[in-house]
Amino acid sequence: MTDERHSNVAEQERRIREAIRSTGDVRADTAFRARLKREFIDGTISATAVPQDEPRARTMPRWWWILVPAAAAVLLFVLFLPRPGPAPTWVVQGVHGEGQIEIEGRTLATGEPELMARALGSGGRVRVPEGVSLDLRLDDLMLLALVAGTDATVPAPPGPDAEGPLIAEVHAGDFMVKTGPGFPGTELHILTTEGRTEIVGSVVAVYQGDGYTCVCVLKGTARVGADEEHLEEITQGMLKIMFGDGSPAIVADIASNHKADLKEFDERNRNVFPPSE
């Protein structure tokens, strides 16, 4: 019996030794060992010592909560920012006479104002035949009149992020402009062979003739010149004629027939925009 018990104990010890060896080396944490050594030397060792970098529950720093109201305010500001409205588009305000109008190479009858407006969605070149005049409106920014026989490029409407002036070109004929209450802050530049006209806020006609450009100002002011460095203000009731051959420009009173045409344009559109006063 004694030999049998001794044999059983020996077998159990062998199994325990093998189990311990199979666990591999277990080394104490370096910081933990250093702290134990220091506390042992100082005589301050504690029986409940634990490694300092033992995982702990992470908490947010107190100052983080200060940012919560600010973050909420920023979120509300973004949510309630005014959304940009739809970009303005050209509409046909009026057609006078009957015939075929060419818009960007497409021929349309004067009785198709909606088709003409869609064709002018992003601006483009318009040719108006003799006997027909076309009035176009761009929201509350401006009205344009392309008088009979006019060939002009209508400017593209401004987009929500648009920068710079609106650019129109008069290739031939008479191009009239009446600015509206939404025009301040907008620039319209009208280019011809002989120069340029920069609209400030006016009722203006730009006529491109054979070798000359005549700019008539019925109301307001326009800056007129051969180029950006030679602009001069032309005020109400005055005109400026620029010549393609380099002859000196002429500044004078508007001729009575030109004044009558501009007044008729202004009068027929008197109720399109609300009064500015």
Check the CA dihedral 7-8-11-16 and report its sign. Answer: negative
CATH at residue 257 = 2.60.120.1440
Q: Is residue 43 part of a domain?
A: no
Read off the tokens for 264.
């008729």
pLDDT band per the 50, 70, 90 thresholds, residue 20:
low
249 or 121, which is more confident: 249
Q: Residue 132 domain-assigned?
A: yes
User: Is 20 inside a domain boundary?
Assistant: no
Number of domains in the chain: 1
| Within a domain: 51 | no
Handedness of CA 124, 125, 129, 130 (dihedral sign): positive
**Residue 39 lies inside a defined structural domain of this protein:** no
Residue 221: name the closest of 209, 238, 207 by CA.
238
Assess if residue 24 is contained within a domain. no
Cα torsion 46, 50, 53, 58 to 10°: value is: -110
Does 128 map to a domain? yes
Q: What is the pLDDT of residues 35-87, one digit of tens each?
A: 655 665 565 655 444 445 445 555 555 554 555 555 545 444 434 444 445 56
Tell me the residue range of the domain where 102 lies: 90-268
Q: Which pLDDT does position 17 carry in this prediction?
A: 65
pLDDT of residue 83: 46
Tens digit of each residue's pLDDT (9 = 90 or more) over 188-232: 999 999 999 999 889 999 999 999 999 999 999 999 999 999 999
> Is 190 inside any structural domain?
yes
